[in-house]
Amino acid sequence: MTITFVGHGYVGLVTACVFADFGNDVWVVGHTPEKIEKLKNGDPLIYEPGLKELLKKNLDAKRLHFTLDFEKAIPKSDIVFIAVGTPPTETGEADLSTVHAVADTIGKNLKKGYTVVSCKSTVPVGTNLKVEKILNDVKPEGAEFDVASCPEFLREGTGIHDTVNPDRVVIGSKSQKAIEIILEAHKPLPGARVITDLASAEIIKYASNAMLATKISFANLISLYAEATGADIETIMDAVGGDNRIGRKFLFAGIGYGGSCFPKDVMALTETGKQLDLDTGILDSAERINRIVRDNFVHKVVENTKGKKIAMWGLSFKPNTDDIRFAPSVYIIEELLKMGYFITAYDPAATANIKKIFGDKIKYGRDMYETVKDADALYILTEWNEFKQADLAKVKKLLKYPTIIDGRNIYNPEKMKNRGFTYISTGRKSV
């Protein structure tokens, strides 16, 4: 098949590389000349394990093409996937301006023949019908199309694995022809096939992310109980997650969820609920708890740090990505700067993105150990594997005071006590 992806972010680029690897002729349309040139030269622009190698492989095989010109890609495509961003507005609704603008341009470039236009972007219920109307309003005479919704479920940091090994492939459309074509494109992939209507497919993506965000917030709420009573959150969640109706995944306490999906999708689903006059209390609570645990971490910093010169490990919202959108680190850094703290931070991948926000307001370490030298305390905000394997004896020697405040529970409290650290974690006894 010939397949086009409009958008080359975490979803568009990863999925395009995977579909090219299956032997399809894949086009990726962007709107920034500098970025398209970098992509053509094998620079994926984002950090995602294995992506650079997969990009180069399919560029060399001439199955993957990047362009600014819709006219080069759309007319020859069997499927056009819309994979552009839908960031939140000030009120929390999804900003669909780019989706609508892209739909307009796609429509004007449809071929005289048949094309499936499918949203991979996460969009509120009813958006695909709006896309269909836009396409109908601008399409050339003789062009035929059907609209479908085919949401993605990849996780940043494991994007290639998740795309190649999906739990399920969701396809929503009122056209059986469109469904069959998208099914054919996904034939190399395992996982269940969920065939449904447009509205259900749109809601499935939001419902999935809202459920995962709610599990994280639930674990964080119970961690506050644990801290107030001297209980242990890890023991509690191991037992709760041991119930196979619940499961352990996403029941990990910390400093809250972030990234490009959970925060905006919870907000967007909440706003949609309000428009439908529904009680969105469970979603409101998930978001409120997410804010509370960030503030709780800042409170631990103030209560347990002897000085104001601090080291920070981890800036990305999760390991194995450079994404800092809605990352707890951004909020925590902002709050600590207001209080007069001097911060030296290190992250294996996200430093360049943090610099775009804070510039020289904070310092940046070249590695873990340079970052902690002479600091009054170390704060851990992201659970990168290299932090788990750190030489803690060396860390202790470099720190001015042997204090670690761990927002991700990566160390064992008793072992940290035996090493001579003051160790404050989440939902566990401080030592």
Per-residue pLDDT tens digits for 200-240? 999 999 999 999 999 999 999 999 999 999 999 999 999 99
Give me the pLDDT at residue 214, please: 97
- Residue among 80, 85, 69 at smallest CA distance from 26: 80
Q: Are residues 288 and 181 in the same domain?
A: no
Residue count of the chain, please give it. 431
Distance CA 353, CA 131 (A): 33
Other Cβ atoms closer than 10 A to 182: 25
Q: Which residue has the tokens 């970052």?
A: 371
CA distances in angstroms from 213 to 74, 221, 289, listed in the order given: 36, 12, 10
> For residue 139, is it within any domain?
yes
Of the residues 134, 161, 196, the one at which a domain ends? 196
Question: Mean pLDDT throughout 329-343?
Answer: 98
Which two tokens mark 154?
């990849």
Residue 403's φ and ψ, nearest 5 degrees, are -120, 125
Tokens standing for residue 40:
């053509």
Q: Is residue 386 part of a domain?
A: yes
Classify residue 145 as left (phi > 0), alpha (psi -120 to 50) or beta. Answer: beta
Q: Do the annotations mark residue 363 as ligand-binding?
A: no
Determine whether the annotation assigns residue 325 to a binding site.
Answer: yes
419 is in an annotated binding site: no
Note the pLDDT of residue 278. 96
Clarify whether residues 115 and 225 are in a common domain. Answer: no
Q: Which residues contact 282 (CB under 8 A, 6 or more apart)?
A: 214
* Mean pLDDT across 265-272: 95
Query: Residue 414 in contact with residue 431, Cβ under 8 Å?
Result: yes
Same domain, 316 and 279: yes
* Percentages of the chain per state (helix, strand, coil), in multiples of 5: 45, 15, 40
Q: Give the CA dihedral 412, 414, 416, 418, nearest 10 degrees.
A: -150
Domain end point (choices 145, 170, 196): 196
Q: Is position 387 annotated in a ligand binding site?
A: no
Q: Are residues 249 and 127 in the same domain?
A: no
pLDDT mean over 73-80:
97
Consult the annotation and say whether 86 binds a ligand.
Answer: yes
Is 296 in the same domain as 383? yes
* pLDDT tier for residue 428 given thresholds of 50, 70 and 90: very high
295 assigned to some structural domain: yes
- Is 429 contained in some domain? no
Two structure tokens written together for 223: 């961690």
Share of the chain above pLDDT 90, in %: 98
Strands, sheet with 403-406, edge to edge from the N-terminal-most edge strand: 363-364, 342-346, 309-313, 377-380, 403-406, 422-424
Residues 190 and 216 in one domain: no
Q: Which residues contact 338 (CB under 8 A, 6 or more apart)?
A: none
Residues 154 and 289 in one domain: no
Same domain for 48 and 112, yes or no, is yes
Does the annotation place 241 within a ligand binding site?
A: no
- Residue 112: per-residue pLDDT: 86
Taking the C-alpha atoms of residue 42 and residue 59, their distance in angstroms, rounded to an integer, is: 7
Return the pLDDT at 53.
Answer: 98
Q: 112 and 46, same structural domain?
A: yes
- The answer to whether 156 is a known ligand-binding residue is yes
The set of catalytic residues is 261
259 in a known ligand binding site: no
State which of 196, 220, 237 marks the end of a domain.
196
Predicted pLDDT at 376 = 98
Q: Is 66 annotated as a binding residue?
A: no
Structure confidence by residue, pLDDT tens digits, 18-38? 999 999 999 999 999 999 999
365, pLDDT greater than 90: yes
Residue 403 counted as an annotated binding residue: no
**Is position 318 annotated in a ligand binding site?**
yes
What distance lies between CA 136 and its chain's CA centroid? 33
Q: Which two tokens stand for residue 201?
A: 């497919």
Q: Do residues 240 and 97 share a domain?
A: no
SS3 295: helix
260 confidence band (pLDDT: 50, 70, 90): confident
Q: Looking at the structure, tell me whether residues 50 and 74 fall in a common domain.
A: yes
When divided into structural domains, the chain yields a total of 2
Residue 344 covered by a domain = yes
In this prediction the pTM is 0.92
pLDDT tens figures, 111-132: 889 999 999 999 999 999 999 9
Q: Are residues 191 and 227 in the same domain?
A: no
pLDDT of residue 200: 98
Indicate whether 202 belongs to any domain. Answer: no
Please report which residue ranges of 41-150 form alpha helices under DSSP H: 51-60, 70-73, 97-108, 127-138
DSSP, residue by residue, 229-244: HT--HHHHHHHHHTST
Name the β-bridge partners of 141: none
- Across all residues in the chain, what is the average pLDDT? 97
Any binding-site annotation on 287? no
In a domain, 431, yes or no: no
Domain-located, residue 206: no
CATH code, 338: 3.40.50.720
Question: At 321, phi and psi to the nearest 5?
Answer: -150, 160
Domain with 339 in it: 212-424
Q: Which pLDDT score, from 0 to 100, does residue 163 have?
A: 97
Radius of gyration of the chain measured on its C-alpha atoms: 23
